[in-house]
Each structure stands twice: as structure tokens, then as C-alpha cells.
């Protein structure tokens, strides 16, 4: 039996902030006590004086190896999970994809094959539904039995992942029956495609037009429609990567009506803006959907308000990296869209800096409390996706997924010191005042003293329960 004591730190959970020692036995937290008040012995004592001891980050929106836009997201489960660990994330929930014309469970099996034995941290899956039919609907039940309790659908990307309202409604009816949650990419893709075509006809081909044609009003409209369909079907609904104040308004109204409607946003929508899509083709680094929003319209400030007031419950990353230039054996993926912004693979890297970025912009700069940071990045994702209290807190009986975070150790974010498999950082040169110091995954030290100590076979598949916020 391996015993570790994390001594002299300040334990921070979603609700508490207390000086406490933490005793870990093998994979679990087995005791908490006031420093110096116990006679525990251990194989190793980690001194956390002056540091926060928080539950490991949980990123419930990643796309390792996602096939998209004629290429694949550049991080594999091996490289992406290692980068996540470096950044203090100890669990990911990734999106397995049902290919058109194939079964839902085939997608699940394919993603298990990619991840099993190749993931440094624990992992679960949502399933992307690309094709609603009788078989898919039946397989939603099988998926739930396997611990896949959430299904992503798209009102965007016609001809790729898009589902029409009837297909969405049928899947929602099934979700209402089996207790799962429908996750929605809420943008009106049909109207957006008209605007894309018209922009290209005018010769507007640069990345900035990606941000201009994907109007925030069309995210608001799709969010409204998704909420109404879910209300009628009686299904829980989770809006993914919410970026626009119009969409937040719809979620706020629904929550005020006591509906089971939830939403996440991502660091890029809080910290970056439409102007990042400018500067010629450099803006391709920032092409993701929904797009980064105009600062002047006030989306970012509204999102912070939503996070404070719990109209937004989760911060995930939508980690979906593509390289700008040839890198590590990969092609210049973003350049597939040179001369036509609609062909730029959609997505940005983000799994690694999430905890530090949100600590900086949220806690250090006074937008959210320390407890809310832990809640948004770990506890609420665990509850939303049926992993709590195994994950998402520091408590007796919970997995020893623990991050020791140093609030006084600054660093500069850069492509030079990151670990994601991509040739740029969207936050190049940004200063953060607190950083991840030590990371434990189920009791095992996987990052310490500036070194990676994990391995790709450590992560375990998590069969998840259903959404613990549903009432």
C-alpha cells in the first residue's frame, strides 16, 4: 500500500478553503486533518506550504484526433492527455463520433480503441450523433449502459454533423426516456451557409470573415430553438461552447423557468475577440465555431457575469488543435483554408492552459472567487457528467486526483514551453501569476518539479452516471 501526505497546503474545494493535510492511500483520499494534528506516516510527504491543494481539473469538451475539414485534430490521446496533465487537468471527457451511415456504438468502440492504453489521465466519452435513425435511437440506450450518458448534436455544419429539428427532437425524446443529456452546438448552420456563400462571392476570403458571417444572433436563435425542443421533449439540454450574449440570454430565461438547461463557455470566448481573426491569414489560428466575438458588443463581460451568477456552470476548452505550418510530421492544416476561410479546419488548442488562464483572468484579476474557479473547472463538470464525488472534489473516498497550485509562481505562456502537439499558442506571451506545481492522478504523481512522470497507459475509462443537476 502506497501512502502519500500532502502537507501544509490550503485545501480549496467548490465550497471550502481550509488549511489541511491530505492523506492518500493508493488511489484514494483517505483522510483530511488540520496540519500537525495527526500522527500519519507515509512513503512520501509533499510539502504544499503556501500553495493551494485543489481537485484535478476536469475538461468535459476535448477533441483528440477528431476528423474535421479533411484532416485530424493534431493531438492524439497520448499527446493531448499529457498536455492536459501538465496544465492540471486529470480527467477529460472527449467526443466519440458516429460516422454517417454507421452505428453509434461503432463510434464508441473506435474511440475506445484510440484512447485505451494511450491516455495519461482518466477519460470518458460523449457521443456525437451524426445520423438519427431507428438504430441510432436504440443504440442511445446501449451507450448509456456503457457509461456514455451525453450526446452531442449539431445545428451547424450542414452536410457534415448537422441534424434537422425533427432528428434533434427524436433524439431528445429518447434522452428524456433514458436519462441522458443532449449537448447542443447551437448555431443556425443553414443561414450561416448562405452568408458564407455570399461572402465568398464578394471575394471575402480571409479568416476574419469566418467571424463576421457566423452572426451572434444566429447562435441566439439556435439556442432558443434547442431549448424549446428540449422543453417539449422533457430532455436535459447542455449548450456547448456558448459564446454570444444572445445565447446566454436564452439560457438565462430557461433557467429562470426552472428548466433543465445548462451551458458551458470556454477560455477563448472570455479572453479573445473577433479582432484576433484579423491580421491576414494569421487569424486562421483563431478560427473556431462559434467564432470569437466582438469586444464592443460586450459578449465577454456578459459571459463572466453569467459565470458568476451560475447561468453558465462549466468552463471547458473545446480543445481541437490544428497546425498552422508543417509540424511534427503533420501537414500545414490551417492552410487548407488559404483563399477560402470556410475550408480552415475549425478549432483551437486549449486543454493545457485552461486552469492557469482562468485562475489569472478569473481569480487573480477579481472576476470570480477561488472557490468558483474550482467549481467551474472541476466540481461542476464532474456533477454535470455523472462523475461526482469520485472526481471533482477533495474528500474522503474520492479519487486522489489532486493539483498543487502555486499562486505565487508566475510564467509566460508560449509555444516554447507548452506540451500540446501544435505549432502555436493562442495566448503567446501572456503572463499568468499562478501555475500548476504538482499533479497527482489517482494517487500517482504525474507532474512534479517541472518534470512529467506519467505514462500513457495510466488513464482509465470512466463509465459515467447521468447528469447530477437534473431535477
Peptide bond into 290 cis (omega under 30): yes
Which partner, Zn ion, ligand URP, none, binds residue 347 by CB below 5 to 8 Å per kind?
A: ligand URP
* The dihedral formed by the CA atoms of 197, 199, 205 and 207, expressed in degrees to the nearest 10: -100
Residues in 343-382 that interact with ligand URP by CB under 6 A: 346-347
If the CB atoms of residues 289 and 435 are measured against ligand URP, the closer one turns out to be: 289
- The DSSP 8-state label assigned to residue 64 in this structure reads T
CA atoms within 13 A on the CB side of 112: 14
Residue of the chain from 65, 206, 276, 318 that contacts Zn ion (CB under 5 A): 318
Which partner, ligand URP, Zn ion, none, binds residue 118 by CB below 5 to 8 Å per kind?
A: none
Minimum separation from the CB atom of position 60 to ligand URP (A) = 12
Query: Taking CB under 6 A as the rule, does residue 320 contact ligand URP?
Result: yes
If the CB atoms of residues 185 and 458 are measured against ligand URP, the closer one turns out to be: 185
Q: Which of 232, 301, 223, 291 is nearest to 262 (CA)?
A: 223
If the CB atoms of residues 250 and 318 are measured against Zn ion, the closer one turns out to be: 318
- For the stretch 133-137, contacts whose Cβ atoms lie closer than 8 Å and that sit 24 or more positions apart, written own/partner, are 135/103, 135/104, 136/98, 136/103, 136/104, 136/171, 137/170, 137/171, 137/174
Which partner, Zn ion, ligand URP, none, binds residue 436 by CB below 5 to 8 Å per kind?
A: none
Taking CB under 6 A as the rule, which mask of x and - marks residues 288-307 in contact with ligand URP?
A: xx------------------
Which partner, Zn ion, ligand URP, none, binds residue 288 by CB below 5 to 8 Å per kind?
A: ligand URP
Tally Cβ neighbours within 10 Å of residue 43. Answer: 9
Q: What gap in Å lies between CA 290 and CA 275, rounded to an integer? A: 15
Number of residues that bind Zn ion (CB under 5 A): 2
Give the gyration radius of the chain's Cα atoms.
Answer: 21
Which partner, Zn ion, ligand URP, none, binds residue 346 by CB below 5 to 8 Å per kind?
A: ligand URP
The region that residue 422 occupies, defined by phi over 0 for left and psi between -120 and 50 for alpha, beta otherwise, is: beta
Q: Are strands 17-25 and 28-33 parallel, antiparallel or unpaired?
A: antiparallel
Minimum separation from the CB atom of position 250 to ligand URP (A) = 19
Select the span of 22-30, 268-276, 315-323, 424-432 touching Zn ion (CB under 5 A).
315-323
Query: Taking CB under 6 A as the rule, does residue 185 contact ligand URP?
Result: yes
Minimum separation from the CB atom of position 288 to Zn ion (A) = 8
Minimum separation from the CB atom of position 335 to ligand URP (A) = 17
If the CB atoms of residues 268 and 425 are measured against Zn ion, the closer one turns out to be: 268
Query: Taking CB under 6 A as the rule, does residue 130 contact ligand URP?
Result: no
Minimum separation from the CB atom of position 113 to Zn ion (A) = 21
CA distances from 276 to 69, 211, 269, 292, 432 (A): 21, 10, 11, 8, 20
Residues in 8-67 that interact with ligand URP by CB under 6 A: 63
Query: Taking CB under 5 A as the rule, does residue 311 contact Zn ion?
Result: no
Query: Taking CB under 5 A as the rule, does residue 126 contact Zn ion?
Result: no
Minimum separation from the CB atom of position 79 to Zn ion (A) = 18
Tally Cβ neighbours within 10 Å of residue 202. Answer: 8
Residues in 154-213 that interact with Zn ion by CB under 5 A: 185
* 199 phi/psi in degrees, rounded to 5: -65, -45
CA atoms within 13 A on the CB side of 421: 21
If the CB atoms of residues 320 and 446 are measured against ligand URP, the closer one turns out to be: 320
For helices 165-178 and 134-145, what crossing angle results, to 10°?
30
Which partner, ligand URP, Zn ion, none, binds residue 335 by CB below 5 to 8 Å per kind?
A: none
Query: What's the first-to-final CA gap in the chain, in angstroms?
Result: 40
Residues in 224-283 that interact with ligand URP by CB under 6 A: 241
What does the binding site for Zn ion look like in residue numbers (CB under 5 A)? Answer: 185, 318
- Name the residues that contact ligand URP, by CB under 6 A: 63, 185, 241, 288-289, 318, 320, 346-347
Amino acid at each position: 500500500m502506497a501512502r502519500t501526505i500532502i502537507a501544509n497546503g490550503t485545501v480549496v474545494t467548490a465550497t471550502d478553503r481550509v488549511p489541511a493535510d491530505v492523506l492518500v492511500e493508493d488511489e484514494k483520499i483517505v483522510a483530511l486533518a488540520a496540519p500537525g494534528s495527526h500522527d500519519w506516516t507515509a512513503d512520501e510527504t509533499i510539502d504544499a506550504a503556501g500553495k493551494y491543494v485543489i481537485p484535478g481539473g476536469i475538461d468535459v469538451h476535448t477533441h483528440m484526433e477528431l476528423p474535421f475539414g479533411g484532416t485530424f485534430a493534431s493531438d492524439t490521446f497520448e499527446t493531448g492527455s499529457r498536455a492536459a496533465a501538465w496544465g492540471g487537468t486529470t480527467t477529460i471527457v472527449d467526443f466519440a463520433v458516429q460516422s454517417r451511415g454507421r452505428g453509434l456504438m461503432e463510434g464508441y468502440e473506435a474511440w475506445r480503441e484510440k484512447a485505451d492504453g494511450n491516455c495519461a489521465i482518466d477519460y470518458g466519452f460523449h457521443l456525437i450523433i451524426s445520423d438519427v435513425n431507428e438504430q441510432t435511437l436504440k443504440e442511445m440506450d446501449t451507450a448509456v449502459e456503457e457509461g456514455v450518458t451525453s450526446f452531442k448534436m449539431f445545428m451547424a455544419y450542414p452536410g457534415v454533423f448537422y441534424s434537422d429539428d425533427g432528428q434533434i427532437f427524436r433524439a431528445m425524446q429518447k434522452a428524456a426516456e433514458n436519462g441522458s443529456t443532449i449537448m447542443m452546438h447551437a448555431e443556425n448552420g443553414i443561414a450561416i451557409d448562405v452568408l458564407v456563400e455570399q461572402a465568398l462571392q464578394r471575394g471575402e476570403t480571409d479568416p476574419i470573415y469566418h467571424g463576421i458571417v457566423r452572426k451572434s444572433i444566429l447562435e441566439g436563435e439556435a439556442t432558443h430553438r434547442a431549448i424549446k425542443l428540449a422543453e417539449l421533449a422533457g430532455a436535459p439540454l447542455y449548450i456547448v461552447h456558448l459564446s454570444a450574449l444572445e445565447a446566454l440570454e436564452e439560457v438565462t430565461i430557461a433557467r429562470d423557468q426552472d428548466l433543465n438547461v445548462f451551458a458551458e463557455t470556454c477560455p477563448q470566448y472570455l479572453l479573445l475577440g473577433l479582432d484576433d481573426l484579423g491580421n491576414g491569414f494569421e487569424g486562421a489560428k483563431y478560427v473556431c465555431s462559434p467564432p470569437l466575438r466582438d469586444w464592443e458588443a460586450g459578449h465577454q463581460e456578459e459571459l463572466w457575469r453569467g459565470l458568476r451568477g451560475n447561468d453558465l456552470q462549466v468552463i471547458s476548452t473545446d480543445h481541437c488543435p490544428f497546425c498552422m505550418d508543417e509540424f511534427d510530421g503533420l501537414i500545414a492544416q490551417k492552410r487548407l483554408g488559404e483563399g477560402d476561410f470556410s475550408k480552415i479546419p475549425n478549432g483551437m488548442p486549449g486543454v493545457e492552459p485552461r486552469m492557469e488562464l482562468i485562475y489569472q483572468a478569473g481569480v487573480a484579476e477579481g472576476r470570480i472567487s477561488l472557490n468558483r474557479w474550482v467549481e467551474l473547472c472541476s466540481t461542476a463538470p464532474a456533477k454535470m457528467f455523472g462523475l461526482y464525488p469520485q472526481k471533482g472534489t477533495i474528500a474522503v473516498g474520492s479519487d486522489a486526483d489532486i493539483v498543487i497550485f502555486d499562486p505565487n509562481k508566475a510564467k509566460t505562456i508560449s509555444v516554447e514551453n507548452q506540451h500540446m502537439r501544435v505549432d502555436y499558442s493562442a495566448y503567446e506571451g501572456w503572463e499568468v501569476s499562478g501555475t500548476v506545481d504538482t499533479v497527482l492522478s489517482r494517487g500517482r504523481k504525474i507532474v512534479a518539479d517541472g518534470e512529467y512522470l506519467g505514462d500513457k497507459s495510466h488513464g482509465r475509462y470512466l463509465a459515467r452516471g447521468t447528469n447530477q443537476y437534473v431535477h
